[in-house]
Chain A
Amino acid sequence: MTTTKRRRSNYPLGLLALRTVAAWGVALLLFFPLGWLFLTAFKTELQAIAVPPQLFFIPTLENFHEVQERSDYLLYAKNSVITSVVSTLVGLMLAAPAAYAMAFFKGKYTKDILMWMLSTKMMPAVGALVPIYVLAQKSHLLDTQLALIIVFALSNLPIMVWMLYSHFKDIPREILEAARMDGATLWQEVRLVLLPLGMGGLASTGLLCLVLSWNEAFWSLNLSAAKAGTLATLIASYSSPEGLFWAKLSAASLMAIAPIVVFGWFSQKQLVQGLTFGAVK
């Protein structure tokens, strides 16, 4: 306590004020769309398009009723949960062994393979749309959760391998070697030493991919419809050709993002840790 107080008082007051204002400014700027979305969700359609915009009004829950009635919110929510959770688990199961091999049994081309994997993320997704759509159609996977799970898992795979690779790389190789000397088989080495030591990395990688899959819109819009659609497709369905229903759109959006915002709030420490891993040290 005393140390922070002393440090603050040594800091030039003007600079401190400037920094505080700037920080609040940026934070508000980032928060504004979300805040506006939140307010609009509780307005009537008329209030939502009123000029000048209303800050104070009598909130209504009508939009939420209508969204659930017009389109089955719970179905979409269930699809979102299943596709994002399963695709993350599948992705982790594929990425962890790859990252282990790359981090601890580095070959001549390991760096090149990693770069190549990352480079696939630079290709616009729409470039692969036709082949993937045809593949999904021919294998009768259109509008199924399985199609979304496969596509989510594969499209997140490069990032997962990279994140896990950089986490595993920071585990001293001698610790794994010590386990081998102690008589551990490959599976025991992984289960008893690598996984407990890499748990932080696995958790933050999983969290990030969960968020990415949840928010994914392009593939869910193109590969799913009424049956396997995720919350992203639910939101999109409210921007219809007949015009925008701002209040209902906001209500649907709020319901779509609320779970992931709450989830992100509780796991923000791990998320930040995971994204800045290796960059700080």
Chain B
Amino acid sequence: MTGTMDCATARLALLEEQRGRLDGETSSALAAHLHECDACARDDAAERLLTEQLERQLPQRAAPLALKRRLAAQWPTPVAVAARRWPSRRWLAAAAVLALVVLGTWGWWSMRGRPETLAAEAVNDHLRVLARVERLDVPSGNMHVVRPWLTGRLDFAPVVPFVGDADFPLRGGAIEHFLDRRAAIAVYERRLHVITLLVARPDGLPWPAPGRPLTTRVRGFNVRLWQANDLGYALVSDLDATELGQLAARLGG
């Protein structure tokens, strides 16, 4: 045993430290122990190396397209439910469509005033990114390649203060629609997790006030919204909130 933490406790804490889940006091005690204990420091190096190799090398197999089609067909969609409930007369269908358009427009206008709407739309964008993550518009880990490409296709210059690092490597960029406007997308990774950063013009939308970021959870995804550089930012992932916060801090949010 060295310091205030014994080797057995330190070994169990190594992974939690890797995941950023240790509180400050325990993290400091572990760091002190690793500084003094060569055996545990080596074990820490091996554990980090193992995680890195698992994340980089372990083959990831995607579900076959045929399976995805079967699954999609298995789910009742809202449209299908509606079709079963309404008679098939044309005038009734037309009236229903008209009502949906009117109600949908009214609902959209009333909902767009709430930050929750932004978070929900950011999750939708994230899902679209996930669906084409292997086919991003700019599949590059170099922000100096991604940003100029994005700038040339938007009516604003996206400011992305973080170019990626070993913890959160940049995977690429893309353009997505965000409500009524186009948005720049930067995609980062953390282990096997995909993280979507969305940057859009904030005018007319209820982004949190500058310096007052909002963290929320939508449909199982963690979402962080903030406003800076006269732009609106949304960060979305299934990554846990602590690690997402670490990336947000690098991005100035």
Partners in one complex: no
- Chain B positions within 8 Å of A, measured between CB atoms, are none
